[in-house]
Amino acid sequence: MKQLALVAKKRCLTGSGDARRRRKEGWIPGIIYGDSGSLPILFGAKDLRVALKQMSGSAAIVSIAIDGYESRSAILAEFQKNPLTDEILHVDFHEVSLTKKMLVHIPIRLTGVNECIGAREEGGVFECVTHTLSIRCVARDMPSEYVVDVSGLRLGQTIHIKDLEKLDRVEFVDPADQVIAACIEATEEDAGKEEGEEASEKDESIEATAGAAPGKTFDK
């Protein structure tokens, strides 16, 4: 389980006007909600960006120290960004108990995709169906991710939830027959895509060769 720490302070005023002012001052508005109630808070923009980057693609328990005297354990619920500037606008955290079981969704990381036997040697197409795994456990037992090796997957084979190796003190919540990944028969559409990609790669190679000729220029 990945564990991180953040420092925050209580936000006394709310509303879009105050949020804009705070962001100009280098703060990011947020909220932490849970059994202790909802609490509007502020994070330092730089520290929050670093923490979000560390959490990228994995689940983590974050210890949030508030005003130097209160601390809450939480997991990231969601955050909003400005689509034009990529600026973080707001972040939500969900408080968790370190002793009570909770329902969480952790990312599934597939390894061996490029080595999948069914796709490389048997003419199949690899397909990822499920990207997250729903589990129930206490916070200290929560894995950051669940790794699934698909290199041995053959044409026509499927990996289900029931095929996953069990984890100590972790309960799988998703249906046992839910598909994680599969290697399926290639369709005419898939073949067309491959031909198009090969043609595109060939064109790019020709352009790159022409453009890389030393000592020559080309009129536009």
Confidence of residue 212 (pLDDT cuts 50, 70, 90): very low
Q: So what's the architecture of 2-96 in CATH?
A: Beta Barrel (2.40)
Element (H, E) at 209: helix 188-211
Q: So what's the architecture of 103-190 in CATH?
A: Beta Complex (2.170)
**Residue pLDDT, tens place only, 53-66:** 998 878 899 999 99
More confidently predicted of 215 and 135: 135
DSSP structure class, residue 175: -
Residues facing 135 on adjacent strands: 104, 172
**Residue pLDDT, tens place only, 98-125:** 889 999 999 999 999 999 999 999 999 9
The span from the CA of 158 to the CA of 124, in Å, is 12
Confidence of residue 205 (pLDDT cuts 50, 70, 90): very low
For the chain, the structural domain boundaries read 2-96, 103-190
pLDDT for the residue 152: 96
